[in-house]
Structure 1
Amino acid sequence: MSIEEPLEPVQLPLLVKEAVKREAERIGEEVKKAVEIASQIRKFLKERGLIYRTFEPKEALKSVAIDSDFTYPPLELVSGRLFIVIRAYVFGGGAYHKEKPRFLNEAFVKFLKDHWNERSSLILAKIFEKSLALQLLRDKENGLADFEVVLFDGEIIPRVISIRSQIEKELFEKLIDITSKILEYSERTGTPLIGVIKRVQGRSLEALTSIKQPFNDKAMGTLILEPGEYVIIGSIRDIIGKLGDRRPWLKKMVKKIPKASEILEILYKTFNPVLFELATKIEAYIPEKLRNEEYITYLISKIASITGQTGAPDPTDRADRLCSLRGDVIGAVHQGMIAEVSRVIGDFSLVFKALGLTNPEKIYPYEYPVWRRRPRTQRL
């Protein structure tokens, strides 16, 4: 008799537990060494007055947070790939748009032929996200929106990738153009841009301290800073000057977007309770007329005041949830695409074959209702 049961979790084998135990001993030594170096770095920064204090602001930060999520890699179909992007914005702290709701998410769906690769779709997703920021900054200049700062979930300037096709070249040039215009409108409207870096890999603190780091900036900031403190690592120009040989992609970006050299890298810790007592790393582009120590303290204090348990500003977290591209959403888009194309050409059988998954085994993660449970055979 065949009955349906939810999949059972795989038991953790004993050999994996033993491997974890061995690795834990090695990691313990690494962490111990990192704590010692963090103490040296903190002493270095304190002696030079480079650790600053935030204050409790009287008013909330009027912000708009922007984020996006996308299928990477795109959903592989028999005759091509289905690429889906969802972007979202959230107004917070009394910010508003006269013609738009306080929060909104939008979708972009594109059927890609074989000559489109995964890297091209990644650039396309960034274009979709950054174009929203540009539109909102233009609306602010025209009096349609009111906000103090734009919060990005991720970096402000795109990371350079090696261009391998004409499509990639055209898309990347468009992304560079949009990013340049965003920095231009930041200056024109007096609006700082903040990139909240969650997955930190860089070790830029070395440019400030000349002390070799065992871990990335976020990890070291978590060990170095106390709640209510922040440190300005330096501008992109400063970092290139000290670590340029290790950041060739950064040099390329500054050549393409000269204003990017003024972006600051900053680490801070909020007074609010945060899981694992995480520090937060941000990129900050501050318009020239606001570029002074007093305003930077004001801005970081306001950002820190709305930073929640995840170590990210609350509007950024809400935008992240709004654009989350879950498996059931991907499945619904795929099914909807089959239905709509069938309606257009009037042949469901043909469309079902052409737009089916090229690897049907991958259907399960997308939570098609009929596939949410797998049959399991038992003998009675």
Structure 2
Amino acid sequence: MGPVSIAFIFNPVCTYHAAAPPGSEQERLEYAVNTKRRALTMALRWANTQTYLLQEEPAALSFLEVSLSNYTCYSLLYSINISVIVVLLKVYCSDHTYTTIRVAVAATGREVIGAVTDKLGTNDELLLVHLSSAGEKQILKPNDVSVFSTLGNNGRLFACPRDQLNALTPLPDQEGPSAGSMSSFELMSSKDLAYQMTLFDWELFSCVHELLYHTFGRQNFRRTTANLDLFLRRFNQVQLWVVTEVCLCGQLSKRVQLLKKFIKIAAHCREFKNLNSFFAIIMGMSNPAVSRLSQTWEKLPSKFKKFYAEFESMMDPSRNHRAYRLTVTKIEPPIIPFMPLLLKDMTFTHEGNKTFIDNMVNFEKMVSIYPDICQPNKNHAEVRGYVRKLCVIDNQRTLTQLSYRLEPRRT
């Protein structure tokens, strides 16, 4: 889902070959494939039901590794959140060539650089740099963990000698799309789009087991927060999707249709208790590059203006986000919460309450920290594929420039 080309693979530790039955070569091949599929399905289902055990028990991790021996399982990080997963990570060089390395999900900057150095066979002392689409450079520290998961939506990892740092320039594909995708999704049902966004958010959110690590300090647990990082990046991606589509729509009437479409999708997200995508869409519509398009907003039907005003009022941060909290009290849980505010609340609860009282765990504190979640259950292949591969422009300056081309400043 991220901009960096990544895949996740289980590391096989031994080999086992089942005896093939007699028959034609095709029959033996089908038997072997089905056998592998059954073994892999069993292991993954077991792993998904034993997530927390797997994180803490070496014996459980060993069992899973053996179960998946001689099988290669590519999946996104959020599909199964256990520590045996490693990442195949693309790291670019200053000349825009790249190499692919294989490191643990929680790999440090030092380990990534070490893997790149070994792969390239170089003796140069390399820096690991996060390069944004706007050309901003962030030198990652040797002890930074899960360096890939903290990249921006169109960010890339570069490894280069220090004397080439100033020469680093963004890759062409970091600019994002040059044309909108409205033709792909305008005929898709707004309700189906919202359902698939909720499904995707559920998959991501249900694997965010690091909330306590984030709240109590991951350095205290020596754990990565990679799943949380990816979920937060998805929130930003949905925001940018809205802004990108509007700013790449050159026809006024089509832009009005887009605003109506996004308002409908947001309404359905709220209906499905997916407040995370709901807020992402509304915040995208509130982006200055969109909100300044007065000609577009003027032509929006009054009914939709009213809906948008109601939705936007829920983002009012005054009185500790009172409007949002009142809305939540009216929704029967479980829900997918607005993650940035959830993290803020969890940190506040942690810092304002003792973890232990009279040498006993403060369970009231732990219960108040644990969030409610929901699990939708619809599927549609075309819509599902679209919402999981949103292409965005993440450079605010570029989006603003596009906005002014659509509607120049009035004199």
| TM-score, normalised via structure 1 length | 0.24
Decide which structure has greater strand share.
1
Decide which structure has greater helix share.
2
Structure scoring higher RCO (CA < 8 A, sep ≥ 6) equals: 1
| TM-score, normalised via structure 2 length | 0.22
